[in-house]
Amino acid sequence: MKNILEAPFMVEMIRTVTNMYAHTWDERNGGNVSLMLDEGDVNAYLDLNAVIRTIPTGFSAPELEGKIFLVTGTGKYFKNVQYAPEVNLGIVRLKDQGRQADLLWGYTDGGQFTSEFPAHMMSHVARLKVDPLNRVVMHCHPANLLAMTYVHTLDEREFTRTLWQMCTECIVVFPEGVNVLPWMLCGTNEIGEATAKKMETARLVVWSQHGIYGAGKDLDETFGLIETAEKAAEIYMKIAHLPRINTITDEQLHLMEGRFGVKGREGYLN
């Protein structure tokens, strides 16, 4: 078997979570990432018949039966992943209609996947129905997006429009906009179900006073989505208390749609 620490998916996961910590999005053990792997990509690195142990998931996801995921661990610090990936990450394969997960690699200290695992899997199910190429769900705590939920209306249209107006590229990067949930208790199936519902219409879901969920085809796309929204929120927080003399108009946003071949969410532009 090849060294799994040299697998492209492993190298990119380690780089990504390290970068997320460096961006201050994942303080302490905050945040989590799940990456769906193709069985063919894992075969060269692991014996898929060698199950280390089985972990109950606490939910049901028959759509993900047999799917394999590389997932950050519960209570783990992203800053430590690059130094001990086998402790802080794990590879699991879902079975029994998603109610059980076979551990194939990792969590060598006896740990398990993030407590947000049900929310991740529910979001994977939702996004795969919209985009069969979706592979990533990413949760983190970007400070400016959190701050924005304290001072801005949580109306999704208005929240999205504000972000689009802060940075020219936003409507190109997330033309479907940003969905928003009110504060909910984290780590529950209820917030997972609510997030998955929101994921049906957008790849970004803000958890008010908590963080954001992003989804995408790969780690780069998902990181970039969150990065762009957070940059726009940072600009908003710097100017929210000031009189706005200039802005990006709806007419200009329509010009961006035409130039880059995107379409802003229906009803969000005048």
Residue type for position 44: A
The C-alpha atoms of residue 155 and residue 247 are separated, in whole angstroms, by: 20
Q: Does residue 190 contact residue 184 with C-beta atoms inside 8 Å?
A: yes
Residue 178 tokens read as 């940003």
Per residue in 51-109, pLDDT (tens digit) is: 999 999 989 999 999 999 999 999 999 999 999 999 999 999 999 999 999 999 999 99
Alpha helical stretches, state H, 131-247? 143-151, 156-166, 170-173, 189-199, 219-239
**Residue 92, token pair as written in the block:** 């699991």
Burial class (CB in 10 A: 0-12, 13-18, 19+), 53: exposed
Instruction: Please give the pLDDT value at position 114.
Output: 93
SS3 assignment, position 3: coil
Give the mean model confidence (pLDDT) for residues 246-267: 97
Question: Region 109-117: what's the mean pLDDT?
Answer: 94
pLDDT attached to residue 218: 98
Q: What pLDDT score was predicted for residue 187?
A: 84
Q: Is 6 a catalytic residue?
A: no
The architecture of the domain spanning 1-114 is 3-Layer(aba) Sandwich (3.40)
Provide the pLDDT for residue 126.
Answer: 97
Give mean pLDDT, residues 153-165.
Answer: 98
8-57 pLDDT per residue, tens: 999 999 999 999 999 999 999 999 999 999 999 999 999 999 999 999 99
185 Rama class: left (phi>0) / alpha (psi -120 to 50) / beta: beta
Binning pLDDT at 50, 70 and 90, where does residue 174 land? very high
Among candidate residues 65, 116, 200, 251, the one labeled active-site is: 116
Contact 229/156 with Cβ under 8 angstroms?
Answer: no
User: In sequence order, what are the residues at sequence separation of 6 or more whose Cβ sits closer than 8 angstroms to the Cβ of residue 88?
Assistant: 72, 73, 76, 77, 78, 80, 81, 106
229 close to 169: Cβ distance less than 8 angstroms = no
Q: Identify the pLDDT of residue 94.
A: 98
Q: What is the mean pLDDT of residues 106-115?
A: 95
Q: Where in the chain is the domain with CATH 3.40.225.10?
A: 1-114, 116-270
Predicted confidence at residue 1, as pLDDT, reads 82
Query: Is pLDDT above 90 for 256?
Result: yes
What are the φ and ψ backbone dihedral angles of 208, each rounded to 5 degrees?
-60, 135
For 116-270, CATH gives: 3.40.225.10
Q: Is a pLDDT exceeding 90 seen at residue 193?
A: yes
Structure tokens at 28: 């302490």
Count the neighbouring beta carbons within 10 Å of the beta carbon of residue 235: 16
Mean pLDDT on 140-154: 98
Buried/exposed 240-258: b ≥16 CB within 10 Å, e otherwise = eeeeeeeebeeeebeebbe
Rounded CA separation 125/135 (Å): 10
Report how far residue 65's alpha carbon sits from residue 71's, in angstroms, rounded to the nearest whole number: 16
pLDDT of 233 above 90 = yes
If residue 204 lies in a helix (H) or strand (E), which one and from where to where? strand 204-207
Residue 100 has what pLDDT? 96
Q: What is the CA radius of gyration of the chain?
A: 19
